[in-house]
Amino acid sequence: MFSFCTDPQSLEGAAWLACYLTTGKHLDFYGAFGTVLLLLAVTAPVALLFGFLAAMAARARLAPLRWLGKGYMAVVRGVPDIAFFLFFVIALDQAIEWIRHKILCPDWSEPVYQGNDFVVCPAAKMPLSSAPQWVHDTYSFTLAVFTFAIVFGAFAGNVLFGAMRAVPRAQTETAEAYGMSRRQAFWRILVPQMWIYALPGLSNLWMILIKATPLLFLLGIRDIVYYAKELGGMKTQAYAYPHPDWRLWYFLALLVFYLAFTKVSQIALDRLMRRLNRGQATLGGQSGGAMS
């Protein structure tokens, strides 16, 4: 990176550190923090959408749809989330390849499950084995986003379902008295009012989501945990920058990153809560203090 970094052996002290911290791999490491933020930025709205659909399904008048929504929320929340991460990554991948296999190779006669193997025709591989590296990376990242969204959608669905029920019944009754249909009352009265009730639960969920991001490592993504393990491990004299086992310091840095991130989120969410509470007929809104 710097001009004086050409010969690492001759460097000492601060210059060595400056060069060490700007190697290509370290720059990838810093980029991985961007991956985490990108994951959060994409997953949060998608999970919210999943949650909204689940909450709508759980309120539906059609019984099977109601069971589907409630079952989804109950099962995902009753089982450790890490199991779902491990499960969905394989299951989604196999589902996609199986569908492509059925469409692209209709005259393939052998079964897909052969003993202990899952075999589809080469054209149905996802992504194709000839595809460049970035396609593979994007594909696995998309699968990860989808997995996170499925798991956290169930949590969000639970929060939103509770929030919809927390809106005073009189509000919808008034809407019905004005002649609104069920659909109109839902979109015009219930949905705009439910957010204030949903916000404490959703902000808690945001915190859990932040703290779940290191699990990307388990999904085979080169995230910050991967690089911390890679870079921190002992480097012998064969490497340009030899150093003893520094993994402790790398993980300490990750810890500090997460502490700062959750702290900043906490402050921002508290502010948002105070702002939304202003003028509401709730305890937090009337006393002027923050509701926690």
Partner 1 sequence: MTCWETLHAYGLRAIGIGERLLPRSDFDLCQQFVLIGSGLLWNIYFAVFALFFGFFLATAVGLGKSARRWWIRKPSELFVFVFRGSPLFIQFFLFYEAFVLLPKMGIDIPLGFTEITMETRWLTRAWLGALIVLILNTAAYSGEIFFGALKSIPKGEIEAADAYGLSGWKRFRRIIWPTMLRLAWPAYTNEAIFMLHATTLVFFAAFPAWRQEGDALYYASYFADKTFNPFIPYPIFALYFIILTLAITYVFGRINRRLNRHLPQEEHMRLKYRPKFIR
Q: Which is nearer to partner 1, 77 or 182 (CB)?
A: 77
* C-beta closer to partner 1: residue 186 or 251: 251
Among 30, 67, 87, 187, binds partner 1 (CB under 8 A): 87
Task: Name the CA radius of gyration of the chain, rounded.
Answer: 25
* 8 Å CB contact between 186 and 250: no
Query: Which helix (H) or strand (E) covers residue 118, if one does?
Result: strand 117-118
CA 69 to chain centre: 20
Residues 135 to 194 in contact with partner 1, rule: CB under 8 A? 155, 158
DSSP 117: E
How many residues bind to partner 1 according to rule CB under 8 A?
46
Whole-angstrom distance, CA of residue 100 vs CA of residue 77: 31
Q: Residue 251: what are its φ and ψ, rounded to 5°?
A: -70, -30
Structure tokens at 151: 């798991």
55 belongs to the binding site for partner 1 (CB under 8 A): no
- Report yes or no: 162 and 197 within 8 Å, Cβ to Cβ: yes
Alpha carbon separation from 228 to 36, 223, 254, 268 (Å, rounded): 14, 9, 8, 28
**218 binding partner 1? (CB under 8 A):** yes
Q: Which of 186/246 has CB closer to partner 1?
A: 246
Stretch that binds partner 1, among 16-24, 45-53, 165-173, 251-259 (CB under 8 A): 251-259
Q: Is 77 in the site for partner 1 (CB under 8 A)?
A: yes
Which range, of 45-53, 98-106, 129-137, 213-221, touches partner 1 by CB under 8 A?
A: 213-221
Contact residues for partner 1, defined by CB under 8 A: 75, 77-83, 86-87, 90-91, 94, 113, 116-118, 155, 158, 201, 204, 207-208, 210-215, 217-218, 225, 228-229, 232, 245, 247-248, 251-252, 254-255, 258-259, 262-263
